[in-house]
Amino acid sequence: MTGPAGRYAPSPSGDLHLGNLRTAALAWLFARTTGRDFYLRVEDIDSGRSSLDSAHRQIEDLQSIGLDFDGEVVYQSQRFDRYHAVLDELSARGLTYECYCTRRDIQQAASAPHSAPGSYPGTCRSLSESEREQRRAEVAAQGRAPSLRLRVDAPVHRILDYYAGEFEAPIDDFVLQRGGNIGQAGDFAYNFVVVIDDGDAGIDQVVRGDDLLSSAPRQAYLAQLLGYPVPEYVHVPLVLGPEGKRLAKRDGAVTLRELQQQGVDVPALICQSLGYPEAHTLAQLREVFDPAHLSRDPWTFRP
């Protein structure tokens, strides 16, 4: 995988709905109209929710609406050795530390006066070795293993987004690997593995839903720590359901197969949702797509 590239990276926890397909189409359009390769990555590290059958169905659905991909499909579940190696590298550089806090501990600390909403207050960052030994023993007695956090030395970080422009957000010491049960490694965190996957694949353009904009500064900060170029970010509007909330399967027939059963031409509907009612296929849309034409407002799907 060399040269500039974009990507789409779904989690195989069920069939893609119209909002997912629209974002995938936008990622493909941005890549193809700027001369980039386009890769597909299956983010299947959550063994409790992911399934190979779901991944195969998602790939079939993406291809059926007109998307094509370069190279082989990458599965995160086959890259654990790489994630462990990067984690070891960061630890060797003194950039990680164990965190013994429970979710309740963090929620209570975050609700204290002068705490940034949702941020980790650094409770375990500066513990002495004797304090760490004591806390480690306490969580072990509870059958838990500590999580690993990144030691962040910048209170805020700024990125440049295609639509949002300069965007700055505070960065806390975010989790790289979650705590698990004793003897079992915890899951790797999304903000950790997505940076490695994009960096290793040479992804220089990340197109995704604008609900993920707030996480981009964290990822850009980590990319710089690891020596990866920071990609161009393009956060695009979401699809809303009839009630004005983010589209979800509770809104009825919203997956490709369900819509097809009702006789809906899904590629044409995607073209219409992007402001091109004259186009009926993504191939046609590719010939006329102009990023500046895309509405910054979410699109509401009304069955």
In this structure, what are the phi and psi dihedrals at residue 166, rounded to the nearest 5 degrees? -70, 130
CB 8 within 8 A of CB 27: yes
In a domain, 142, yes or no: yes
- pLDDT confidence of residue 103: 81
Print the domain residue range for 177: 92-158+167-190
Note the pLDDT of residue 171: 93
149 CB burial (10 A radius; 0-12, 13-18, 19+): buried
242 and 271 together in one domain: yes
Q: Please say whether the beta carbons of 215 and 191 come within 8 A.
A: yes
Asked whether residue 219 is domain-assigned, the answer is: yes
Poorest-confidence range of 45-59, 162-176, 187-201, 215-229?
A: 45-59
Residue 4 has pLDDT above 90, yes or no: yes
**HEC letters along the chain:** CCCCEEEECCCCCCCCEHHHHHHHHHHHHHHHCCCCEEEEEECCCCCCCCCHHHHHHHHHHHHHCCCCCCCCCEEHHHCHHHHHHHHHHHHHCCCEEEECCCHHHHHHHHCCCCCCCCCCCCCCCCCCHHHHHHHHHHHHHCCECCEEEECCCCCEEEEEECCCEEEEEECCCCEEECCCECCCCCCECHHHHHHHHHHHHCCCEEEEEHHHHHHHHHHHHHHHHCCCCCCEEEEECCEECCCCCECCHHHCCCEHHHHHHCCCCHHHHHHHHCCCCCCCCHHHHHHHCCHHHCCCCCEECCC
72 in a structural domain = yes
* pLDDT above 90 (res 74): yes
Is 86 part of a structural domain of the chain?
Answer: no
Which residues sit in the known binding site for L-glutamate?
A: 7-11, 43, 190, 208
Site of tokens 């493909």: 28
Same structural domain, 143 and 59: no
pTM, entire model: 0.93
For 178-217, the pLDDT digits (tens) are 987 765 667 899 999 999 999 999 999 999 999 999 999 9
% of the chain residues with pLDDT over 90: 79
Q: What is the mean pLDDT of residues 291-296?
A: 95
pLDDT tens-digit readout, 75-95 = 999 999 999 999 999 999 999
Half-sphere exposure of 235 (CA within 13 A, CB side): 15
- φ, ψ at 30 (rounded to 5°): -60, -40
Nearest in space to 174 (alpha carbons), one of 218, 132, 144: 218
> 133 and 230 share a domain?
no
Residue 236 domain-assigned (yes or no) = yes
Residue ranges of the annotated binding site are 7-11, 43, 99, 101, 120, 124, 190, 208, 249
In a shared domain, residues 74 and 109:
no
What pLDDT does 50 receive? 72
Q: Let me know whether 144 and 230 are in one domain.
A: no
Q: Judge contact between 115 and 109, C-beta under 8 A.
A: yes
Indicate the number of domains in the chain: 2
- Which tens digit of pLDDT belongs to each residue from 261-288? 999 999 999 999 999 999 999 999 999 9
Do 181 and 198 fall within a single domain?
no
Residue 87 within a domain: no
Query: Do 74 and 198 belong together in one domain?
Result: yes
The CATH number for 177's domain is 3.90.800.10
Residue 81 burial (10 A CB sphere; 0-12, 13-18, 19+) = exposed
What's the CA gap between 56 and 46, in Å, rounded?
16
> Which residue ranges make up the annotated binding site for Zn(2+)?
99, 101, 120, 124
Residue 85 lies in a domain: no
- pLDDT above 80 (res 73): yes
Annotated binding residues for ATP = 249
Mean pLDDT taken over the chain? 92
